[in-house]
Amino acid sequence: MTDCRRQWNREDELPIYLAKSISAGSNKRQKSHGMFSSVEGAYDTKTIDFDSYALGRKGNRAPRRCSTERMLDMEYFSEPAREPHKKRSDSVVTSPSGRPSVDVSYQSQREHSHCENNGKSERLLIKGGKVINDDHSFYADVYVEDGLIKQVGENLIVPGGVKVVDADGRMVIPGGIDVNTCLNKAYLGSPPVDDFYQGTKAALAGGTTMIIDHVTPQPGDSLLQAFELWQEAADRKCCCDYSLHMDVPQWHEGVRDEVEVLVQEKGINSFQVYMAYKDVYQMTDSQLYEVFVCLKALGAVVLVHAENGDLIAQEQKRILGLGITGPEGHPLSRPEELEAEAVFRAITIGNRANSPIYISRVMSKSAADTVSRARRKGSVIFGEPITASIATDGSHYWNKNWAKAAAYVTAPPLSPDPTTPEHLHSLLACGDLQVVGSGHCAYSTAQKAMGKDDFTLIPHGTNGVEERMAFVWDKTVATGKMDENKFVAVTSTNAAKIFNLYPRKGRIAVGSDADIVIWDPDKAKTITAKLQQSALEYNIFEGLECRGGPVLVVSQGRIVYEDGNLNVQQGTGRFIPRQPFPDVAYQRISIRNKMTCRQGVSRGVYDGPVYDVPATPKYITPAPSAKTSPTSHQPPPIRNLHQSNFSLSGAQVDDNVPRRSSHRIVAPPGGRSNITSLG
Amino acid sequence: DSFSNTKHKTSDKIIIKGGKIVNDDQSFYLFFLTIFLTSSNVYWLSRLSSTFRQIGENLIVPSGVKTMDAYGHIVIPGGIDVNTCLHAPHLGMNPADDFYHGTRAALAGGTTMIIDHVVPEPGVSLLTAYDQWRDVADKRSCCDYSLHMDITRWHEGMFEELETLIKDKGVNSFLTFMAYKDKYQSSDAQMYEIFGMLRDLGAIAQVHAENGDIIEEEQKRLLDLGITGPEGHVLSHSEEVETEAVYRAITIAKQANCPLYITKVMSKSAADVIAKARKKGLVVYGEPIAASLGTDGSHYWSQNWAEAAAFVMCPPLSPDPATPDYLNSMLSCGDLQVTASAHCTFSTAQKAVGKDNFTLIPEGTNGIEERMSIVWDKAVATGKMDENEFVAVTSTNAAKIFNLYPRKGRIAVGSDADLVIWSTKETKTFSSKTHTMTVEINIFEGMECRGFPVGVISQGRMVLEGGTLDVVEGLGRFVPRKAFPDYVYKRIKARSRMAEARGVPRGNYDGPVHDVISMTKSVPPTPTTRGPSCSGKTATGPARNLHQSGFTLSGTQMDDHIPRRTAQKIVAPPGGRSNITSLS
């Protein structure tokens, strides 16, 4: 620590607020116990140490060290479930002899980092950039080695032979995380044209260095098998790190066991349920409640596709009946109200089950408003608008060109209200919506044309993985709605926090993954399908101009994109498992769990007269997603089923005997004696 | 005479002197002579005599006419209670207040007409249940009545039944349940269908709005926790669950373009959802009830089981003590329109069926007698609303919505002689010892209310005068209601005309179409030759695996166990891409 003291003493001569808050990181931090543990000391050099700023303590450096330790301690206490932390202290390398030792110790620690890919990761120094995290921005150099950020600060001591990138005052931001892609979701057996290779290539070209893809098993498929299928495809093709959401197409006991395995052994902590797609994926409210309770117990985040599938099915029938078969039938049959209604219902069920809810794809103003109202009432809920909903609107469904109109078909649909994007930007900026995904699911025009005579058969999905970051910048930062830190939050950090990737992802800090983007706020670009990485022949943002874009993208410590040139390699992407119980969602939930021990009232036993009631048989309410339409045959009427939703039995032996209309009042022999009966 | 139920009854000629006549639009004083009523003939003469074209002119009092002094009081149209259950059995138990006792209590409280809910047992035809209710009510009812029909189970041929009820039987309002899972609950799709029918037939959709699915799960959970008392009822029927269902019902009604009437608005947030929907222009009405306006749900935690159980109803009273005040304000500003009682009483012995399990407690509270006084005390006496609005929310709005206006709900020449002489100054204390009902516990026990009726005239007959109730069993007539009430349907009709969705005229798409091959087990893809792809049959081949469409054609297939093939072929038309609709 002598070295540190010397440095601080020098700083003491400066005014407090000019003193560098970010020291050069003379204590090296090493991520030593598996890639899934959180990063030791990740907070140290970039968290403002308020103690050291305290005026009365100027020159007294002891508090700073204490605060550092305290922070580490807190980290331990807040994450008791993570075994590796306990051992990690052994490997924390302090630098007893000052800065020159940095180089040496890194070399010696090299075998600990097993996230290299074929030794291809580079040593990289990003010089002269402005590092932007979600909490603050500062000028610093970033040194990357072994796919990790090793040092952040000024005047770094780095080994020779390092590749130096001059950021030239531009922004250095954590790589984007796109939490909503479907790169392997087949429609009627045909996979999307952007598979894991094409899709992640496009992601990297747009500044996104990690995706979370949806595993979409069909009803009846095993979730575990689907997971392995997806993982296998992604491991072979992915160019950037990825993780997986699991879609739950139906709910029963077997699924519950699989979900448990996925959470506890496979590193999946988010599951999507559907309130739409009647008779295919749709779940009833009862099932949703059960799923929510189950996932809450496991510590997973529930993603909800929120649309009222019952009404959509009815409206589709009606619209087709009117002779409307083109893509305009899609938004007509899925009006905004149905989305808002389902969001409201999902939140209600989430509140009752006390489970965190994540609304994937917020496409309309009213759905967004519903989310923000619920947040105001304290619900643990997150909302995700997608690239398409923040950058364009649903007027295109009425395009005369069928192929263009069909390209916009996604569910929930884009709102035809042209003021929708602006509204969503505002809610993003004020924090009512938290994450921007892309909903990237690219089907070619030929695939879309499967529904050329019936809009209900058009596969759903739009592009957006490549354009996401740029549009968020263009629509919100460039217009002054949000600042650069908030930009980092909505494109990367918030997602990392909600899905428990933080601080490994979503932050530029010592020990975090070296997923870094150098962002040029002035780079202007016109979106066109001709210049894109995606394999789609039509881009729904065609012709839109946008400011802001990546000039250099570093993924896993490698430069994969530089000045318009991609240098990616299939299969380099790693699967990033995620732990359950993300703090940002579950701290509140677990406290509320403890609070909701409701107490019954202790009363004396009621001993007044009691009516004698005959038992009644039971009838089952048709589920909203029952395979039959309401016009079809109903079960034969059961007799005399009135008034109880808590029935005791099925058919009775005396069912053939007409019901008695007289009753007997049973009074206790001793008369009414207890206080609980009436006097 | 189309009204075969006309019965001969004794009638009075009554002159009401003095008093201020209050309608929903204006109040006016009349000098010396106020109203002259005759009712020798039940159907025609019970109306305000048309002999006197202008109310308020001097008139020579014929001999043999009874006069009634209303000085210092107001004269208002008799109340209409649009939500009662006087005959619907629960687990085979009939309510403690039947049509006779219930309507007697209604008259004692200044309500001269009720609309009762017909609750057919699921599986029983609506018409059968209707006849049963008519039969009982005609024999027992003391005041005019009409009927709502509850749709407890969707079934084939419902449209015909609805049509008969609406066109021939004088029922124009139908209730669907979103709660009572596995008993009465309708799915969203069924509600949409029902709403569509009701719109076409010109009826009003009513909903009992609570999410039955969540309630059932919560009930299970609470019983598991060992909570079996009445407090479990309110814990399992949380306010949110009501609000959610109100929101959903409004969404469905909006889609079906059907007028919607929410029965029993019990919580602040549910009322807010209705108010917001009205602000967006939806045709939706909300009905708080006597219980939600007069008391709150804190009583569910009463140490006395019998008292706690007396408050059990669905949706439950909100435990939030600010709720009654809030609902009264919403009522005053017009965001809620109608007050009812949801009167459905069960004796303590009947309630005690659920003494070990709150889910078995029969649901329902009293209120038919107290309703008018509660509204006056909570809203008018506190200055939230004026006497005209009081008339509107207790009588006129209900008459308009359910197509009884101006026969009911207004004091005018030609209207039915259902009048109440209302004392605005005196107070009265509710108590189970003095009330007219048969139930042992009054949920408003001890409440002191300003405003109560000193005289009630029903069908031109004096039924309450000087504290004496003089009713005749079976005197009540069934009042049929016609479809398409103007107050509700003018807007709906205009919107139906406007709501035609229009498609986009396009050329045929003639670009490449992905060929969907029916899945076979890992056989190498066989190229299929196809003609021009505008055959229109492309997508109809495999019915299975239709993800992405909410419009599925079939369920499981015999080859479901075979893995899907991923190979496809793109078919381009022979002439290449020629049409403007394909991408260049």
User: Does the pLDDT of residue B576 top 90, yes or no?
Assistant: no
Six-digit token string for B185: 């609950």
A233–chain B Cβ distance below 8 A for any pair: no
Residue of A426, A474, A519 lying closest to A209 (CA atoms): A519
Which of A453, A621, A649 should we substitute to test contact with B (largest number of B Cβ atoms within 10 Å)? A621
User: Which of A273-282, A334-343, A529-538, A643-652 has the least mean pLDDT?
Assistant: A643-652
**Confidence tier at B515 by pLDDT (50, 70, 90):** confident
Q: Calculate how close chain A gets to B532, using CA atoms only, in Å.
A: 13
Task: Say whether B509 sits in a helix, a strand or coil.
Answer: coil
Backbone φ and ψ for B263, nearest 5 degrees, come out as -80, 150
Mean pLDDT, residues A74-80 taken together: 38
- Environment class of A215 (CB within 10 Å of its CB; exposed 0-12, middle 13-18, buried 19+): buried
CA A196 – CA A239 distance, rounded (Å): 8
- Environment class of A18 (CB within 10 Å of its CB; exposed 0-12, middle 13-18, buried 19+): exposed
User: Does the pLDDT of residue B129 top 80, yes or no?
Assistant: yes
Q: Are A544 and A502 in contact (CB under 8 A)?
A: no
Helix, strand, coil percent values for chain B (each to nearest 5): 30, 20, 50
Task: Say whether B392 sits in a helix, a strand or coil.
Answer: helix
Q: Are B99 and B304 in contact (CB under 8 A)?
A: no
pLDDT tens across A413-457, in order?
A: 999 999 999 999 999 999 999 999 999 999 999 999 999 899 999
CB pairs under 8 A between A and B: 356
CA A177 – CA B208 distance, rounded (Å): 45
Q: Are A180 and A188 in contact (CB under 8 A)?
A: no
Say what the pLDDT of residue A173 is.
Answer: 95
Q: Do B501 and A278 touch (CB under 8 A)?
A: no
Say what the pLDDT of residue B514 is.
Answer: 80
DSSP symbol at B476: P
Which is more confidently placed, A114 or B434? B434
Range among A57-61, A505-509, B12-16 with highest mean pLDDT value: A505-509
Q: Do A280 and B547 touch (CB under 8 A)?
A: yes
Mean pLDDT, rounded, of chain A: 79
A76–chain B Cβ distance below 8 A for any pair: no
Q: Are B361 and B230 in contact (CB under 8 A)?
A: yes
CA B268 – CA B247 distance, rounded (Å): 13
Q: Calculate how close chain A gets to B97, using CA atoms only, in Å.
A: 16
CA A435 – CA A421 distance, rounded (Å): 15
Say what the pLDDT of residue A618 is.
Answer: 62
Helix (H) or strand (E) holding B175: strand B173-177
Residue of B282, B245, B300, B299 lying closest to B267 (CA atoms): B245
Strand partners, B77: B419
Residue of B365, B385, B348 lying closest to B430 (CA atoms): B365
**Confidence tier at B156 by pLDDT (50, 70, 90):** confident
B521–chain A Cβ distance below 8 A for any pair: no
Six-digit token string for A58: 């100027």
Q: Calculate how close chain A gets to B456, using CA atoms only, in Å.
A: 33
User: Does the pLDDT of residue B272 top 70, yes or no?
Assistant: yes
Say what the pLDDT of residue A6 is.
Answer: 39
pLDDT tens across A579-623, in order?
A: 999 999 999 998 888 876 666 777 878 888 888 776 665 666 676
What DSSP string describes A33-80?
S-TTSPPTTTTTTTS--HHHH-GGGTT--HHHHHHHHHHHHHHHHH-T
Considering only CB atoms, B512 lies closest to which of A277, A446, A676, namely A446
Say what the pLDDT of residue B71 is.
Answer: 82
Q: Are B19 and B73 in contact (CB under 8 A)?
A: yes
Percent of chain B residues past pLDDT 90, beyond the cut:
59
pLDDT tens across A361-395, in order?
A: 999 999 999 999 999 999 999 999 999 999 999 99
Say what the pLDDT of residue A204 is.
Answer: 95
Mean pLDDT, rounded, of chain B: 82
pLDDT tens across A490-544, in order?
A: 999 999 999 999 989 999 999 999 999 999 998 888 999 988 999 899 999 999 9
CA B178 – CA B360 distance, rounded (Å): 19
Q: Alpha carbon A213 to chain centroid distance?
A: 10
Mean pLDDT, residues B186-212 taken together: 94
Helices (H) and strands (E) in chain B, counts: 16, 19
Q: Do A644 and B91 touch (CB under 8 A)?
A: yes
Six-digit token string for A92: 């924390």
Helix (H) or strand (E) holding B132: helix B126-140
Say what the pLDDT of residue B68 is.
Answer: 78
B282–chain A Cβ distance below 8 A for any pair: no
Q: Which residues neighbour B142 within 8 Å (Cβ) at sequence distance 6 or greater?
A: B100, B103, B104, B106, B107, B458, B463, B471, B472, B473, B474, B475, B476
Say what the pLDDT of residue B42 is.
Answer: 31
B61–chain A Cβ distance below 8 A for any pair: no
Residue of B nearest to A402 (CA): B581
Helix residue spans in A274-335 (DSSP H)? 285-298, 309-321, 329-333
CA A225 – CA A231 distance, rounded (Å): 10
Backbone dihedral region for residue B242 (phi beyond 0: left; psi -120 to 50: alpha; all else: beta): alpha
Task: Say whether B368 sits in a helix, a strand or coil.
Answer: coil
Amino acid at A599: Q
pLDDT tens across A632-652, in order?
A: 444 444 444 444 444 444 555
Q: Calculate how close chain A gets to B129, using CA atoms only, in Å.
A: 12
Say what the pLDDT of residue A675 is.
Answer: 46
CA A360 – CA B448 distance, rounded (Å): 53
Say what the pLDDT of residue A486 is.
Answer: 95
Say what the pLDDT of residue B510 is.
Answer: 81
Six-digit token string for A282: 């749709």
Q: Which residues neighbour B517 within 8 Å (Cβ) at sequence distance 6 or greater?
A: A189, B525, B526, B528, B541, B542, B565, B567, B568, B569
Considering only CB atoms, A310 lies closest to which of B187, B216, B350, namely B187
Q: Calculate how close chain A gets to B263, using CA atoms only, in Å.
A: 18
Say what the pLDDT of residue B580 is.
Answer: 45
Considering only CB atoms, A348 lies closest to which of B244, B347, B501, namely B244
Q: How many residues does chain B have?
A: 584
DSSP symbol at B378: I
A617–chain B Cβ distance below 8 A for any pair: no
Helix residue spans in B257-395 (DSSP H)? 268-279, 290-294, 305-310, 323-333, 348-351, 371-375, 387-391
Q: Calculate how close chain A gets to B91, using CA atoms only, in Å.
A: 6
Residue of A nearest to B223 (CA): A600
Say what the pLDDT of residue B245 is.
Answer: 96
Q: Are A222 and A484 in contact (CB under 8 A)?
A: no
Residue A335 with chain B: CB contacts under 8 Å? 255
Task: Say whether A263 sits in a helix, a strand or coil.
Answer: helix
**Confidence tier at B64 by pLDDT (50, 70, 90):** low
CA A140 – CA A149 distance, rounded (Å): 13
CA torsion angle for A156, A158, A160, A164 (degrees, to 10)? -60
Considering only CB atoms, A601 lies closest to which of B218, B301, B565, namely B301
Residue of B328, B322, B321, B445 lying closest to B377 (CA atoms): B328
B539–chain A Cβ distance below 8 A for any pair: yes
User: Does the pLDDT of residue A41 top 80, yes or no?
Assistant: no
Contacts with A, B 365-424, CB within 8 Å: none
Q: Calculate how close chain A gets to B546, using CA atoms only, in Å.
A: 6
Helices (H) and strands (E) in chain A, counts: 21, 18
| Cis peptide, bond prior to residue B89, ω within 30 of zero | no
pTM above 0.80, yes or no: no
Question: Position of tokens 């908030």?
Answer: A486
Task: Say whether B468 sits in a helix, a strand or coil.
Answer: strand
Residue A325 with chain B: CB contacts under 8 Å? 503
Residue of A299, A123, A178 lying closest to A573 (CA atoms): A178
Residue B556 with chain A: CB contacts under 8 Å? 220
Say what the pLDDT of residue B557 is.
Answer: 52
Query: What is this model's ipTM?
Result: 0.78
End-to-end Cα distance, chain A: 81
Contacts with B, A 179-198, CB within 8 Å: 186-191
Question: Position of tokens 């996104």?
Answer: A208
Contacts with B, A 431-460, CB within 8 Å: 444-447, 449-454, 456-460
Say what the pLDDT of residue B553 is.
Answer: 43
Residue A316 with chain B: CB contacts under 8 Å? 550-551
Mean pLDDT, residues B267-294 taken together: 94
Q: Calculate how close chain A gets to B253, using CA atoms only, in Å.
A: 11
Q: Calculate how close chain B gets to A646, using CA atoms only, in Å.
A: 7
Say what the pLDDT of residue A572 is.
Answer: 92
CB atoms within 10 A of CB B534: 15
**Confidence tier at B459 by pLDDT (50, 70, 90):** confident
Q: Do A614 and B92 touch (CB under 8 A)?
A: yes
DSSP symbol at B115: E
**Confidence tier at B225 by pLDDT (50, 70, 90):** confident
User: Does the pLDDT of residue A658 top 70, yes or no?
Assistant: no
Q: Which residues neighbour A194 within 8 Å (Cβ) at sequence distance 6 or greater?
A: A183, A202, A440, A442, A463, A465, A534, A535, A536
Residue of B409, B379, B199, B403 lying closest to B294 (CA atoms): B379
Q: Calculate how close chain B gets to A500, using CA atoms only, in Å.
A: 29
Residue of A nearest to B90 (CA): A643
Which is more confidently placed, B251 or B564? B251
CA angle A454, A195, B516 (to 5 degrees): 35
Q: Which residues neighbour A663 within 8 Å (Cβ) at sequence distance 6 or greater?
A: A611, A612, A613, B92, B93
Which is more confidently placed, A86 or A678? A678
Helix (H) or strand (E) holding B464: strand B461-465
Say what the pLDDT of residue A591 is.
Answer: 86
CA B340 – CA B79 distance, rounded (Å): 10
| Cis peptide, bond prior to residue A412, ω within 30 of zero | yes
pLDDT tens across A285-311, in order?
A: 999 999 999 999 999 999 999 999 999
The dihedral sign for the CA sequence A124, A130, A133, A136: positive
A648–chain B Cβ distance below 8 A for any pair: no
**Confidence tier at A626 by pLDDT (50, 70, 90):** low
Backbone dihedral region for residue A161 (phi beyond 0: left; psi -120 to 50: alpha; all else: beta): left
Contacts with B, A 303-342, CB within 8 Å: 308-317, 319-320, 322-326, 328-329, 332, 335, 337-338, 340-341
